[in-house]
Amino acid sequence: MHWNIETIFAWFVVFFGLGAFWLIFDHKYGERVFRIGYNWTHRNPLPANAEIGFLSAQPWRNQFSRAFWIATVQFGALAYLTHENPLTYLLIWVCGIVATFLGILSGKAIGKAFDNSDVVFDTAEKVSRGEISLKPQYEMAKEAVKDAVADATAKTLDAVEAVKNTAKEYLKKPAPEVKPVVPACPDQSVGEAPKPVEPEPDPYAAINKYANKS
């Protein structure tokens, strides 16, 4: 049994796109249904300016649990329409849950990008027709980059010069004089000569000496 990474990645992208689609769909149409249901089941209705739906503006815990069920339903349709081995299906299902959740989190930004796409395309068309010139902005960006590079280069050279000067000053200093360390005896101070150890008197020698005198 084997699995194909390309197939799993392709379905990961599909599930991510579907997650973003469901978030955008919920933002445009689901919020109205959610408001009706909320106001019907709660004593205090939602504020008029609240933009809350089944997916949008929900805590991450709720978004993940709903992404789990959405991905599971989508995976069921996928398993019904395709033919893969069980290991590939398992990996697609797990990755599909993660991809759907990430798509839901990214759906708001993707929706704003599509909403602003008309402005982007109109500006691009005006630039292509020559109605808008980007030369001033190009020159400004060019000068800004040139100044930033020059400033960074100057700071780098100053830092290198400072390191070189510090190294020169350190090498000019004489090496510290190392003095020999004289080990001290436990009962004597450093520098004093050790006292000779007197032998203990022999009692038998004293007795013999006294006997000889007598």
pTM, full prediction: 0.52
Neighbours of 209 (CB within 10 A): 10
Residue 66 CA to residue 19 CA, distance in Å, equals 10
Residue indicated by tokens 């032998």: 199
Q: How far apart are CA 204 and CA 200, in angstroms?
A: 12
**What is the structure's pLDDT at 180?**
65
Place of tokens 């049994």: 1
Residue with tokens 């510290």: 176
CA distance 24 to 53: 10
Please name the residue that has the structure tokens 């190009």: 138
Cα 74 from Cα 92, distance rounded (Å): 11
Express each pLDDT in 143-189 by its tens digit: 766 776 677 777 777 777 877 777 777 677 776 666 666 555 555 45
Burial 129-159 (b: 16+ CB within 10 A, else e): eeeeeeeeeeeeeeeeeeeeeeeeeeeeeee
pLDDT digits (tens, 9 = 90+) for 94-114: 999 999 999 999 988 888 877
How far apart CA 78 and CA 55 sit, in angstroms, is 23
The kind and range of the H/E element at 72 are: helix 60-81
